Amino acid sequence: EIVLTQSPATLSVSPGERATLSCRASQSVSSNLAWYQQKRGQAPRLLIHGASTRATGVPARFSGSGSGTEFTLTINSLQSEDFAVYYCHQYNNWPPRDTFGQGTKLEIK
């Protein structure tokens, strides 16, 4: 099983600043990685797929990068609505053996 390790577990950032979230895979997943945002009491929302492609309607301040085992989600100019939990998801294998990271909580500093 591919293990995804997200860091840090909690990130405190001030509105208007930049947040950088990390996701590390225990083995290469190529670019088969997605990022989701989950607000309290809501379903996850797809932000990024293919490691770096923004999903429809996602603001340009969200960007994804990386390949292989190291991935980053960057959020520029943090808005109040961006404070949430973020999950990475690898979908590299067929048949599917998908796994998710444990999440990074982005909180207001």
Partner 1 sequence: QVQLQESGPGLVKPSETLSLTCTVSGGSISNYYWSWIRQPPGKGLEWIGFIYSSGGTNYNPSLQSRVTISEDTSKNQFSLKLTSVTAADTAVYYCTRNTLHPTVGDVWGKGTTVTVSS
Binding site for partner 1 (CB under 8 A): 32, 34, 36, 42-46, 49-50, 55-56, 87, 89, 91, 95-103
Of 14 and 102, the one with the shorter C-beta distance to partner 1 is 102
Q: Note the Cα 109 to chain centre separation in Å.
A: 20
Through-space distance between the first and last CA atoms of the chain, rounded to whole angstroms? 35
Nearest distance, CB of residue 35 and partner 1, angstroms = 11
Smallest distance, partner 1 to C-beta of residue 101, A: 7
Both tokens of residue 70?
Answer: 């190291």
Taking the C-alpha atoms of residue 95 and residue 73, their distance in angstroms, rounded to an integer, is 27
Residue nearer to partner 1 on the CB measure, 78 or 88: 88
Shortest Å, Cβ 37 to partner 1: 11
Please give the distance of CA 5 from its chain centroid, rounded to a whole number: 11
